Amino acid sequence: MNEVLLMGPGPSPVSHRVRSAMARPLLGHLDPRFLEELDRLQDDLRVVFESSAALTFPISGTGSAAMETAVVTLCRPGRKVLVLSCGVFGERIAAMVRRYGADLTLESFPFGSPVDPEVARRRMQEVAPDVVAVVQAETSTGVRSDVDAIAALCKEYGADLIVDAVTSLGGLPVHADAWGAAIVYSGSQKCLGAPPGLGPITVRDGLAQSQGEARSWYFDLGLISQYLGSERLYHHTAPISMIFALAEALRDLREEGLPGRFARHRKASTALRAGLAVLGLESRVAAVDLLPSLTVVAPPGGLDEAELRKELLFAEGVEIAGGLGPWEGKAWRIGTMGESARLQPVLRTVASIGRVLARHGRAVAIPEAGNQAAKAWEETE
């Protein structure tokens, strides 16, 4: 099978170095050489999270596993939890909070709009929450919420803050220490440029020890920290090859530097949107709220959008995703994350979408779309 260009909301393509790292011979999860690699990976995660927390590491599981770790740690029966949701993944946090028996207040914002800090303030005044959870980059809508403002409110009202950075870590600045966040978590398969299967997380110092025994054995941070610390007590068998892959992806990021990585994501998303606009595909999100890692556009009217995406995948070898929730059948989600946040994948995607539309009778200027994408790339800082 020919290689597919992954341009959806994750997983994203990985570099040849990351692929090679996954093929390394296995080591035992208590082998000193593996533990040295894991320690270096933790240091690199602290840089990208902007965190000084000792308990900064990859959960053995996807971003949803990291989400559940955060919820089971802080959202316990008797605690008041305010979830500020502007999409499907905010709703997922709320669903987990319900299952773990906390006193949930869900404040939902219009689909396609960010969290409104003024509404959040009013709800904090009314609820006096112990915990507030927010998604920085909502994968279902391509919307960015102002976590700086939410973090300031949490400090003012004395609430612990959980931040979902699954679609932002490595593509947008994440300020775990400056936010004073209790827990920030992410996923390996998006802007970090690694395969899916790990959930990077950073936990404020002392938090895991102060919470006591979690209701989940597997996601009990107190137990996991004993493996990550000097004791190296067995908890579970770490996914060795995935750790190697994420460690290599973080080395790629370290060499590029965070400013360079952020700039590349900005350039790629701006170029993509410029090319798509020439093809007649407009963003569903206001410009001020756009993510650099994910573009959400309205599909062409009068055509079966799912069939177009299927044709794009099998005839052109390019994968994009459809809408979720209220936007199912009404949106295309196109990622510029990690290795896909480069000019050539953007140009290929724009041209491929153009050819699919042309085959369905749409008059599209494919060369001009590519030219505008390339121009936007060059002009974006």
Topology, domain 16-256 = Aspartate Aminotransferase; domain 2 (3.40.640)
Which residues lie across from 183 on neighbouring strands?
162, 203
| Alpha-carbon distances, residue 323 vs 135, 139, 297, 326, 331 (angstroms) | 18, 10, 9, 8, 5
Which residues lie across from 160 on neighbouring strands?
131
| Alpha-carbon distances, residue 289 vs 136, 232, 344 (angstroms) | 11, 43, 25
**Residue 162 and residue 117 in contact, taking contact as beta carbons nearer than 8 Å:** no
Q: What is the pLDDT of residue 323?
A: 97
Helix/strand/coil for 230: coil
* One-letter amino acid for residue 38 of the chain: L
Q: In what order do the strands lie in the sheet with 332-335?
A: 294-297, 332-335, 321-322
**Residue 253 and residue 193 in contact, taking contact as beta carbons nearer than 8 Å:** yes
Please choose, from the candidates 228, 207, 288, the residue with its C-alpha nearest in 3D space to the C-alpha of residue 45: 228
Q: What is the pLDDT of residues 112-157, one digit of tens each?
A: 999 999 999 999 999 999 999 999 999 999 999 999 999 999 999 9
Q: How many CA atoms lie within 13 A of 159 on its CB side?
A: 29
**Residue 362 and residue 280 in contact, taking contact as beta carbons nearer than 8 Å:** yes
In degrees, rounded to 5, the angle at the alpha carbon of residue 276 between the alpha carbons of residues 301 and 143 is 90
Q: What is the pLDDT of residue 1?
A: 60
Give the phi and the psi of residue 143 in degrees, each rounded to 5.
-105, 140
CATH 3.90.1150.10, domain 5-10+257-379, yes or no: yes
| Alpha-carbon distances, residue 327 vs 9, 142, 284, 333 (angstroms) | 15, 12, 10, 10
- Could you write out the three-class secondary structure of 44-90? HHHHHHCCCCCEEEEEECCHHHHHHHHHHHHCCCCCEEEEEECCHHH
Sequential DSSP letters for 165-204 = -TTTBTTB---HHHHT-SEEE--TTSTT---SSEEEEEE-
Helix/strand/coil for 131: strand
As a dihedral over the C-alpha atoms of residue 223, residue 103, residue 64, residue 286, rounded to 10 degrees, the angle is: -140
Q: What is the pLDDT of residue 146?
A: 98
* H/E segment holding residue 39: helix 32-49
Q: How many CA atoms lie within 13 A of 74 on its CB side?
A: 31
Report d(CA 11, CA 18) in Å as an integer: 14
Instruction: Give the predicted TM-score (pTM) of the model.
Output: 0.97
Q: What is the pLDDT of residue 288?
A: 87
Cβ-based neighbours of 134, under 8 Å, separated by 6 or more: 83, 84, 90, 115, 145, 147, 150, 161, 162, 163, 164
Q: What is the pLDDT of residues 37-86, one digit of tens each?
A: 999 999 999 999 999 999 999 999 999 999 999 999 999 999 999 999 99
Helix/strand/coil for 142: coil
**Domain residue spans of the chain:** 5-10+257-379, 16-256
pLDDT by residue for the chain (381 residues), tens digit each?
Answer: 679 999 999 999 999 999 999 999 999 999 999 999 999 999 999 999 999 999 999 999 999 999 999 999 999 999 999 999 999 999 999 999 999 999 999 999 999 999 999 999 999 999 999 999 999 999 999 999 999 999 999 999 999 999 999 999 999 999 999 999 999 999 999 999 999 999 999 999 999 989 989 999 999 999 999 999 888 999 999 999 999 999 999 999 999 999 999 999 999 999 999 999 999 999 999 888 999 999 999 999 999 999 999 999 999 999 999 999 999 999 999 999 999 999 999 999 999 999 999 999 999 999 999 999 999 999 998
